[in-house]
Structure 1
Amino acid sequence: MIKHKLALAVAATILTATAYGQSARDYISIVGSSTVYPFTTAVAEQFGKANANFKTPKVESTGTGGGFKLFCGGVGVQHPDISNASRAIKKSEIETCAKNGVTEIVEINIGFDGIVLASSKKNKPMPLTIKDLWLALAKEVPDPATGKLVMNNFKTWKDINAALPANKIEVLGPPPTSGTRDAFVELVMDHGCKEFPAIKDLEKADEKKAKATCQTIREDGVFIEAGENDNLIVNKLVANPNALGIFGYSFLEENLDKIQGETINGVAPSFETIADGKYPVSRPLFVYAKKAHVGVIPGIKEFIAEFTSEKAMGDEGYLARKGLIPLPNAKRKQVAMDANALKVMAP
């Protein structure tokens, strides 16, 4: 009986391996971040034009979290080869990958991006601060009279800051699966809350509860989840001049004829202010590749070489023209060297 089961298991393994070889994809499958999507798509198109031997990669916008779920699902042609991410992969995601046999991951920091708060050009710009944004969007905020935490009942920007207009607070933003949402929480919500004594007191008593209070966004209709399609947010801003939208800088740059970026802490989002670190809401962008698929799916190594080339990622590269903020020269060279050597992340 045991021998019979063993024979069946061996046969199944052989059949699986044969099927794997027969049904191997002849194109690279890429999923993940909507922010990184336009950059990876540009590289995919360039790669397809320049390499007659390889098909143009298929790039899908699933959001960073959704991309990692697919990427970490396993090794084999039914799973993506590459995942775009607008934040670094989490420890929990690396663990999920490992459980499913995805143990050799190549991390490529492709550059930087800023998260912007944008509005229609029909509206007068607002001089926002990170503190203002937290008060506008947090589920619980300190009561102005007592300082104690209460449910957020601010209705207009003027309620928060007398220097701001009496416009209704309405913010269109990404869902929890989005790397942009993760980065916004980390760079805005986590920082904005720290300015209040009530949060500092809570942190001393219950650090976990304080963190949740800082990060939890209100659910009373003021913050509207607009999905992973940043172009949809742009269109909604044009239709509703009083609303603000949260998305990556590249989408602002592509639509400067219709929308504008709000200043945050006195700094306007621009290529220069994100590159030099003056703009407070900026973050690194990544591409993750599955080393086990190199040599099985044609073109992965060559695609990585194209992505990390100076003509793509350089100061004057075609990705910079699409809004990617390039890495400093020395860092860029190191990233390219490690990526092309298929250097894997430490477990």
Structure 2
Amino acid sequence: MAADWLLIETFGGHRREPTVIAVGRSPRSMVPLRKILDRSPFLKDYLTLIARVVETGTSTETVTNVGQRRLIGRPLKTYGGHIHGVYAWMGRVHEEPPPQDPAGAWHVNITRHVSSRSDDLLRLYGTKAENWRNEHDLAELFAYGRLQTNSDESKALALIVNATPGTEHQATWTVKRDDGVRRAVNFACRCVEAPNDQGHIELVVRGITHDIGPAESVMAAPPAAPVLLAQQVVAAEAVPGRWRAIVDLRTMRLLRWLDDPPPRVAWKLDTPHKPAIHRRDLRTAVQMSDTLATSGHVRALLRLRTEDGEWVQMMVTAALMLLDQHTTAALVTLTMPDDDRVV
């Protein structure tokens, strides 16, 4: 039987050497390659192969000088062409490798509040090619019920809020594909500093999502009923006319919706008009954020931009919530005031 593929991250950042995040379908916790190979004479061959795949961005195949082994490396590219990982396999010269399990690269640009999905990830999601959209607002990561998270979701959100270079996270969640099939996926990510096209440094979370089998067959995969931030958000049925969301207190940007988004309000990246609070209400919004840190609960009327570029006035109620013992956010509830006309 052919050896398994190694899935190796090449996120960069504070680590100098790529690490293994999966052997076949079995996740690994970013284990150094030398530990996985365990005194193998082929470590140098693997490292050379990985470096070549990252440099060229293309699949590479070599034959080792020692032991006459066939070594294959295949890149996992982001939308934009950065290499986030390498699939690597070694076998006898005339041996064929087993099929690869689907995996896709992605990144979240914290500085620009934008998430990006590779074509490979969209295939993993079962999205039809005509519906592919590679870039999204960060809040769309958790939208539409595609991701069914474990109790570590608050930790993942805290990583986004804190955005500290070198911070890592790895977990098994469930993906509900566009065809309704539920798959267990293991993802690994790391926050790094990266220069943009203008040479400015941005904070970026680089990641890989790896399909590890049917959700029902993987013990670690969340059940069909999702867990919403452990016990911090009380599970309740959606109430008409009420929309709950989690907001970053520091930037006042949307992290995720807990209910379906309200109609008309602009919040997606591809909306013709960018999400915004009316400039005359910005001072009130800042005061709400400052007051929330001490009072734990605030309420005010704010005008939010709509998809057609107008403004809608909404009652905004915010309560302080903990993502972890060091990170807070705002649990925001939006409702329509008695007069819900666009102003």
TM above 0.5, yes or no, is no
Give 1 or 2: higher strand fraction.
2
User: TM-score normalized by structure 2?
Assistant: 0.22
Give 1 or 2: higher helix fraction.
1
User: TM-score normalized by structure 1?
Assistant: 0.22
